[in-house]
Amino acid sequence: MIRWDWIASNVPALVDATIDHIVLTFVAVGVGFALSFGLSLAIHGRRSLGGPITGIAGVLYTIPSLALFAFLVPFTGLSFLSAQIGLVSYTLLILIRNTVAGFDGVPGDVLEAADAMGYGRARRLLSVELPLALPLIVAGLRIATVTTIGLVMVAAVIGQGGLGQVMVRGFNFRNDTAVYTGAVLIVALAIAADLLLAYAGRLVTPWRGSAARGS
Amino acid sequence: MPESPRGASTVEFRHVTKRYHAGAKNVPGAVNDLSLIVPAGKICVLVGPSGCGKTTSLKMVNRLIEPTSGQILIDGTDAATRDVIELRREIGYVIQQVGLFPHQTIAENVVTVPRLLGWSKDRQRERAEELLALVGLEPATYHHRYPAQLSGGERQRVGVARALAADPPIMLMDEPFGAVDPIVRERLQNEFLRLQEELAKTILFVTHDIDEAIKMGDLVAVMQQGGILAQFATPSEILANPASEFVARFVGADRGLKRMSLSRVSNLELRRPVTARVGDVCSEARRRALADPFAYLLLVDDADRPVGWIGEDEIPTEGRLTESMAESMSPLLDRRTTLKDALSMLLDADVQAGIVVDRRGAVVGLVTADMIADWMRMSAVPLSGSEARDQAGEAVEA
């Protein structure tokens, strides 16, 4: 049974938990993206770095999330930092893979034309390669964001879970309403974030799909 | 750097060699001691089978590939001593896959180099419109489209417009019309030749298609495996006098026909027909016709326009010539008609002589199949074997 009165009386707490959840996600994806982008550029510049970097990101990705958070507690405590270290680690593999694939996917003839017309290295990267890599980069961001929204819930074990906290407390106090409310809000958050990013992605790549729309 | 029209430059390859390490994979063709001069304002076509180093040679001009040794001089200056970015902005580049930027509109694509050169926005917009119109794309229609919305032929036009944007003195074109269907290709070729008549750029043009080479080139460089220049000459010279077995095979067994399509009636010394006007005295006309080895008299009107042939034996011995006496007509040619077209028309006609007329339609002379065959024989110095002779002979008889 859903107790609507519980929800009504806990709106401020739920709002706070949602905001926490969004902040945890936003910071994790933001930092993860910054790191991944730098590492992807390094790989783009030097192919040989690709193996080691994605290897390490892959190892991080395979560590069970619960174990990682527990492992971090002796070092960084039950803190925002512990949560972020875990969350950021999980975004790296997805974001690096997609960003590198995005750069790799830029057609060779486009690069050759850019070189032949006198683009410098940096200018080519910024105004030709990056825009053309955007669709895959945005796709990576969408997956990373949705994944992170789910993972934040797990960070509840170290007291940093946003809406996950609501659910954990619900389990502990046999409060089904709290569990369901937390779950529904997390799903809603994930869907909203995905749609928002998809829309943003279309805004920054106006040339895509234009063929289908025709003249 | 001046941004005003710069005309054309001379491009000289001086002992240019490009070697790749043995065993290296996916490398373009090597080039072996290539020396040639492309005069300013001419189209030089590099043609040869794949792996002959034609594309490598092209890409050494704008230094997408650096030569192992030798120099490429542009108006006497070694390209290797130039700032590479600056050099490339002065050389137009068109490739088969076009390589338009998918994320930019057609107008943005076209003014890529002007943008890199820092032209003002107004000037860029003006130039984009001008160039789109130049290559036959309605600016208002195409301006805001993206490359994905264009057909292959349209994209290729945009590619040419983009290469011309900063009015470069040199254009490099690598199989520019290779990815479109034959009908569109022919139209693009013709338009480009017309464009070149006005622009007079120095153009290096790569193709594997000998017909395209002959059509497009003022000069043709035939290259063979190993990056060796087999022959460098005008198209008609290459067809008439292939420098080696390789060149002869490469230009094909039908090179006689190809040569006829390059040559025009104006290349021939025309035969003077025996003519008489309507109303002339028959006996006098008959005497003149019989005195000439050609078996027909050509009847013309007051303005010397041809009316028709009268067999010399059919001319009455008395009275005057009338229009009704003309039995047959021949195809009318002008001096610009190619020998190939002329021959083709002659083969269909009753009297196997084409009547060449001037712009007003007056008779200038005659062309016969024998004359074309003679011209082909005279203008070609056959190579060593009998093969070339045979081929030329077959082509004429075919």
Residue at A135 is within a domain: yes
Chain B nearest-CA residue for A109: B99
pLDDT recorded at residue B25: 66
Tokens for A88, please give them: 């950021």
User: How far apart (Å, rounded) are the C-alpha atoms in residues B132 and B122?
Assistant: 16
Q: Which residues of chain B lie closer than 8 angstroms to A205, CB-CB?
A: 103
B55 and chain A: CB distance < 8 Å anywhere?
Answer: no
Q: Which residues of chain B lie closer than 8 angstroms to A109, CB-CB?
A: 95, 97-99
Of residues B118 and A168, more confidently modeled = B118
Residue at A143 is within a domain: yes
Residue at A212 is within a domain: no
Q: Which residues of chain A lie closer than 8 angstroms to B28, CB-CB?
A: none
Residue A146: partners with Cβ closer than 8 Å, 6 or more residues away: A190, A193, A194
pLDDT recorded at residue A113: 94
pLDDT recorded at residue B63: 94
pLDDT digits (tens, 9 = 90+) for A62-86: 888 888 888 888 888 888 888 888 8
Q: Do the chains contact at B89 and A118, CB–CB below 8 Å?
A: yes
B344 and chain A: CB distance < 8 Å anywhere?
Answer: no
Residue at A213 is within a domain: no
Residue at A47 is within a domain: yes
| Beta carbons of B360 and B303 less than 8 angstroms apart | yes
pLDDT recorded at residue B20: 86
- Which of B59, B90, B101 is the best substitution to test chain A (most A C-beta atoms within 10 A)? B101
pLDDT recorded at residue B3: 37
Q: Do the chains contact at B99 and A112, CB–CB below 8 Å?
A: yes
Q: Do the chains contact at A118 and B116, CB–CB below 8 Å?
A: yes
Size of interface A-B (CB pairs under 8 A): 73
pLDDT recorded at residue B6: 58
Q: Minimal CA–CA distance to B373: which of B346, B349, B351, B350?
A: B346
- For chain B, the three-class secondary structure string (H helix, E strand, C coil) is CCCCCCCCCCEEEEEEEECCCCCCCCCCCCEEEEEEEECCCCEEEEECCCCCCHHHHHHHHCCCCCCCEEEEEECCEEHHHCCHHHHHHCEEEEECCCCCCCCCCHHHHHCHHHHHCCCCHHHHHHHHHHHHHHCCCCHHHHCCCCHHHCCHHHHHHHHHHHHHCCCCCEEEEECCCCCCCHHHHHHHHHHHHHHHHHHCCEEEEEECCHHHHHHHCCEEEEEECCCEEEEEECHHHHHHCCCCHHHHHHHCCCHHHHHHHHCEHHHCCCECCCEEECCCEHHHHHHHHHHCCCCEEEEECCCCCEEEEEEHHHCCCCCECCHHHCCECCCEECCCCEHHHHHHHHHHCCCCEEEEECCCCCEEEEEEHHHHHHHHHHHCCCCCCCHHHHHHHHHHHC
The total of structural domains in chain A comes to 1
Query: Which residue range is the domain that position A92 belongs to?
Result: 4-207
Of A112, A113, A120, the CB nearest to B85: A120
Tokens for B226, please give them: 């190993």
Q: What is the ipTM of this complex?
A: 0.81
Q: Which residues of chain B lie closer than 8 angstroms to A112, CB-CB?
A: 64, 95, 99
Chain A nearest-CA residue for B113: A117
Of residues A173 and A132, more confidently modeled = A132
Examine the pLDDT at A106 and tell me if it is beyond 50: yes
Of A109, A119, A205, the CB nearest to B98: A109
What is the sign of the dihedral through the CA atoms of B174, B178, B49 and B341? Answer: negative
What's the CATH code of the domain at A77?
1.10.3720.10
Of A113, A205, A207, the CB nearest to B95: A113
Of B62, B104, B149, the CB nearest to A214: B149
Domains and CATH numbers, chain B: 11-253 (3.40.50.300), 267-373 (3.10.580.10)
Separation in Å, CA of B110 to nearest CA in chain A: 11
Examine the pLDDT at A121 and tell me if it is beyond 60: yes
B170 and chain A: CB distance < 8 Å anywhere?
Answer: no
Of B89, B116, B145, the CB nearest to A215: B145
- Which of A106, A117, A138 is the best substitution to test chain B (most B C-beta atoms within 10 A)? A117
Q: Which residues of chain A lie closer than 8 angstroms to B175, CB-CB?
A: none
Chain B nearest-CA residue for A112: B99
Q: Do the chains contact at B88 and A117, CB–CB below 8 Å?
A: yes
Q: Do the chains contact at A211 and B149, CB–CB below 8 Å?
A: yes
| Beta carbons of A137 and A102 less than 8 angstroms apart | yes
Which residues of chain B are under the pLDDT cut of 50?
Answer: 1-5, 383-398
What's the gap between Cα B180 and its chain centre?
19
Q: Minimal CA–CA distance to B391: which of B237, B208, B260, B254?
A: B254
User: How far apart (Å, rounded) are the C-alpha atoms in residues A214 and B120?
Assistant: 31
Q: Do the chains contact at A115 and B64, CB–CB below 8 Å?
A: yes
Residue at A195 is within a domain: yes
pLDDT recorded at residue B352: 77
Of B64, B91, B95, the CB nearest to A109: B95
Average pLDDT, integer, range A46-72: 87
Q: Do the chains contact at B113 and A117, CB–CB below 8 Å?
A: yes
Tokens for A200, please give them: 């943003």
Residue at A184 is within a domain: yes
Q: Do the chains contact at A207 and B103, CB–CB below 8 Å?
A: yes
| Beta carbons of B309 and B329 less than 8 angstroms apart | yes
Tokens for B208, please give them: 């594997």
Phi, psi of B19 (to 5 degrees): -115, 150
User: How far apart (Å, rounded) are the C-alpha atoms in residues A64 and A123?
Assistant: 41
Q: Which residues of chain A lie closer than 8 angstroms to B145, CB-CB?
A: 210, 215
pLDDT recorded at residue B323: 85
